[in-house]
Structure 1
Amino acid sequence: MGTKWSADPWGTALALVTVMAATAAPAAAHGQAPDRAKPAQRIVLTNADTGRSVTASPGDDIEVRLIGYRENGLTWTWSIPASSDPGVLRRTAGRAAPNGDASATFNAEHGGTATITAQRRCRPDPGHFCPLVITPWKVTVEVK
């Protein structure tokens, strides 16, 4: 299949369509559907998402934003979220802030299932005491 290039806008558009059709033809000739690449998604998870299960595709980014809080001389702080399987979900960024917030970004690398976890703990001001409570946060991510 030959492609004729032209300087006018219509000729360029037709040439692009011809090239796209030519690249899809080999997959169709073998009984396969043409590969239609899906743009990567960004999935944002927050405090309220604990216990959820989400589905992602390879290449997607999963961003976790956990908000700490302060009351009665106690600051409730989050640990930096972690992946149970870096081969499935690779952490590309992570930080904990002095105010108790924590965040992380994960890239969905390969098919499989991994969990993202973090823990909220108490940090007391001088003269205050924390209850012996650790609050877990967990989301299950299936990459397919």
Structure 2
Amino acid sequence: MGATKWSTAFGAAGLVLVAVAASATAQGQTPHARLAGRMVLTNADNGRTVPASSGGDVEIRLTHTRERGFTYTWTAPQSADSAVLGHASDATYPSGDATAVFHAASPGTATVTAQRRCLPDPGSLCPLLVETWKVTIEVK
């Protein structure tokens, strides 16, 4: 196991310490943050398979993007197997961001998905495209 890097972030909630596993980067994986027993996944984790500990929480934080007169927004993430990864909370925001928290309830594998949709500026038309964000969580 590689070294752990610590970074600090100041926000509305105050000081937050975030541990990022350097070994994940070395193995070509997108590192995901762990906050006090809670794994945090973001847009960059799309397509990944990640381990989680039974009894822990998995938080998903998806952020909107804006490009060429379009805002791409997210639906609330959903677990495909609530027995493995139970829903604790979710929220969508006017900005287009979406969050969810799941509890790793029992050993097994569950996928979490969310959809990214386009919202056009006035006078623009969006491409008819819906993208899916997907992560596979292996609870041990």
Q: TM-score normalized by structure 1?
A: 0.70
Higher helix share: 1
Look up the match of 2:124: 128
Cα offsets for 1:51-103 (capped at 9, x unmatched) = 11111121110000000022333110001000000111011110111111001
Q: Partners in 1 of 2:65 and 2:53 — Cα distance?
A: 33
**C-alpha offsets along residues 5-36 of structure 1, whole Å, 9 cap, x if unaligned?**
xxxxxxxxxxxxxxxxxxxxxxxxxxxxxxxx
Residue 30 of structure 1: aligned partner = none
Structure 2 portions without partners, runs of 5+ = 1-35
Query: Who is 2:138 aligned against?
Result: 142
1:88 aligns with 84
In the other structure, the counterpart of 2:101 is 105
* 1:125 Cα deviation after fit: 2.2
Superposed CA deviations along residues 95-132 of structure 1, whole A, max 9, x for unmatched, are: 11111100100000011110010010001122110011
**Which is greater in Rg?**
1
* Secondary structure at 1:48 match in 2: helix
> Which of 56, 60, 66 lines up with 1:60 in the alignment?
56
Question: What is the aligned-residue RMSD (CA, Å)?
Answer: 1.2
* Separation in 2, partners of 1:41, 1:118: 23
Give the equivalent residue in structure 2 for 1:69. Answer: 65
Which aligned pairs between 1:25-40 and structure 2 lie closer than 5 A?
none
Residue 117, structure 1, aligned to residue 117, structure 2: no
Aligned length: 105
Can you give the 5+ residue segments of structure 1 that lack an aligned partner in the other structure? 1-39
Q: TM-score, normalised by structure 2?
A: 0.72
Name the one with the larger strand percent: 2
Kindly provide the amino acid, as one letter, of the partner of residue 63 in structure 1.
E
- Work out the percentage of aligned pairs sharing the same amino acid: 57
